[in-house]
Amino acid sequence: MSVIKAENITKTYKETAVPVHALNGINLEVQEGEFTAIVGPSGCGKTTLLNILGGLDHPSTGTVEVAGTNITDMKDSKLIDFRLQTIGFVFQAYNLIPVLTNKENVEFIMLLQKRSKAERDKRAMELLEQMGIADKANQRPSELSGGQQQRVAVARALASKPKFILADEPTANLDSVSTANLLDMMARMNQEQNATFVFSTHDQRVIDKAKRIVTLEDGKIVSDETRN
């Protein structure tokens, strides 16, 4: 089942003196259960593509379907709700809310979804347990290492039971041990729960774990390799 379908995507930034063509005719389809890395040199369009796939930005031309819904021209108010119900996000900078506990951070998306307190509690603790940090539930993000904070961020992304997770350079601020632990956990969730992950990365450790590697250069897909 296709969870993402992007056709003929272009993105041009016209705010600069010379227009910047960030994406040039991208066609990409992601199936449920994939563990995909979008790779390429800095400035090749990885983050721009991820933002468009996640409805955080609009393409200049082309169409994006997410879980069978065309989000290309969706109004921002409707898109916010659609993202909330459908897509999980993991960012390089964690983006946790510092005044909330780690458990409350995981619960936050479910709170916006108006899930019951009992459901939020149960789901948050299950995910923190799976991430190996249930004992940190009542601490705040500032009390955790970078690797632990990113685990909380992944748990938060999974909390809403999204169709897929978009992770933008999720290991960029992590040491090698934290990266290995985080990747092992995400790979396990991919295998055991069929969770769909799409990464943008230049981290070879992420690339080595990925089952599919989509390489961008100058805003174009130059190779698309699936591995066993």
Q: Which one has a higher pLDDT value, 16 or 31?
A: 31
Whether residue 143 lies inside any domain: the answer is yes
Q: Which has the higher per-residue pLDDT, 27 or 84?
A: 27
pLDDT in tens, 37-81: 999 988 899 999 999 999 999 999 999 999 999 999 898 889 999
Residue 174 lies in a domain: yes
Provide the domain limits for residue 65: 2-222
Domain count, the chain: 1
**Assigned domain for 70 exists:** yes
Quick one: CA dihedral 128, 153, 57, 205, positive or negative?
Answer: negative
Mean pLDDT along residues 89-115: 91
CATH at residue 135: 3.40.50.300
Contacts of 152 (CB under 8 A, 6+ apart): 94, 96, 102, 105, 106, 128, 131, 133, 136, 141, 144
**Residue 177 pLDDT:** 87
